[in-house]
Amino acid sequence: MKKVFSRPKSLRKVSMHYCPGCGHSIIHRLIAELLDELKLRDKTICVPPAGCAVLAYYYLDIDMVEAPHGRATAVATGIKRVHPKNLVFSYQGDGDLAAIGTSEALHAANRGEQITVIFVNNAVYGMTGGQMAPTTLAGQKTTTSPFGRDPKIEGPPIRVCELLATLHNTSYLERVAVNSPAHIKKTKNALRKAFEHQKKNTGFSLVEILSPCPTNWRMDPLQSCKWIDEVMVKEFPLGVLKEVKC
Amino acid sequence: MKGKIVIDKEFCKGCQFCIAFCPKKAVQISAKRNTKGYAYAEYDKTKKCSGCATCALVCPEATIEVYRE
């Protein structure tokens, strides 16, 4: 029998620290598969975030530069300007990109930096224990909104893709999810497109990935996948929000 | 077309994605636990695996290897 699927080479053979059913590890694998397929493993520099994925440098076998909380796009900007021929991407969560790093992300996108941002949206602060994030849905219970998020007091959730789509220099913005086999395949295609856009220097590209967080949503892994389909997708509709020709 | 899967049980965390999404229901949860304490997924040899690799696609730990004839 022929081997048709195994662990990608760019993903180190170590057990990841993520909770059972976490979307981060699926996204790590997709990135590793893509880098293997595109043969970019030696030419890629990643900027991991502060957050659950802070230890991504233990798992992805590529060059990494850790950034302070929220500053990944600023660090990636510097790296890309010094190494324009390398593939540079930042990997950020919603607490990292949409809260503390909003200004860095917004201005990097406005300047049209030739970087790719992989934005993992799980609607809570994962690592610190499930506090309310800017992307938390209205009515969603978290440790800092025990009665549900009230949009009158805390505001409605931020839609990062829609926000960045209004800027001139963004080239590729897509929202995908990793809660089913079909969505995982679409996510991989979205990441491939974003990397291609970067290769052709068309501008700032961002892929927002809705990812399950069973632990902080107080659900089992399968329930959290369903919750994305039934609840989260209504607030964060999937699809391509912006694509310029390349 | 016939296939088979090999699961490294020490990497499995028992999220059961592979069990939920397998079209042939050829993956089951083990009665035993691995050294981390998780009830791990295992290949059910009595069912016919087609080698479609859906289980490996959804596996968060990248611990499933798929073979096909």
Q: Tell me which residues of chain A have a C-beta less than 8 Å from any C-beta of chain B.
A: 1-8, 11, 15-16, 18-26, 29, 180-181, 184-185, 214, 221-222, 225
- Residue B60 has its nearest CB partner, among A2, A5, A18, at A18
Domain membership of residue A96 (yes or no) is: yes
Interatomic CA distance for residues A156 and A137, integer angstroms: 7
Domain membership of residue A8 (yes or no) is: no
Residues 6+ apart with CB under 8 A from A148: A138, A139, A140, A141
Domain that holds residue A133: 23-243
CATH number corresponding to B3-68: 3.30.70.3270
Domain membership of residue A3 (yes or no) is: no
Q: How many Cα atoms sit within 13 Å of A205 on the Cβ side? A: 27
Domain membership of residue A14 (yes or no) is: no
Interatomic CA distance for residues A215 and A225, integer angstroms: 12
Domain membership of residue A2 (yes or no) is: no
Domain membership of residue A156 (yes or no) is: yes
Q: Is A162 left (phi over 0), alpha (psi -120 to 50) or beta?
A: alpha
Q: How many domains does chain A have?
A: 1
How would you class A166 by CB atoms within 10 Å of its CB: exposed for 0-12, middle for 13-18, buried for 19 or more? exposed
**How do the domains of chain B map onto residue ranges?**
3-68
Q: Quote the pLDDT of residue A84.
A: 95
Domain membership of residue A4 (yes or no) is: no
**What CATH number should be reported for the domain holding residue A72?**
3.40.50.970
Say whether B62 and A29 touch across the interface (CB within 8 A). yes
Say whether A15 and B51 touch across the interface (CB within 8 A). no
Interatomic CA distance for residues A149 and A143, integer angstroms: 11
ipTM score assigned to the predicted complex: 0.95
CA distance B60 to chain A (A): 5
pLDDT tens profile A16-32:
999 999 999 999 999 99
pLDDT tens profile A104-161:
999 999 999 999 999 999 999 999 999 999 999 999 999 999 999 999 999 999 999 9
Domain membership of residue A11 (yes or no) is: no
At residue B1 the predicted structure's pLDDT band, cuts being 50, 70 and 90, is: low
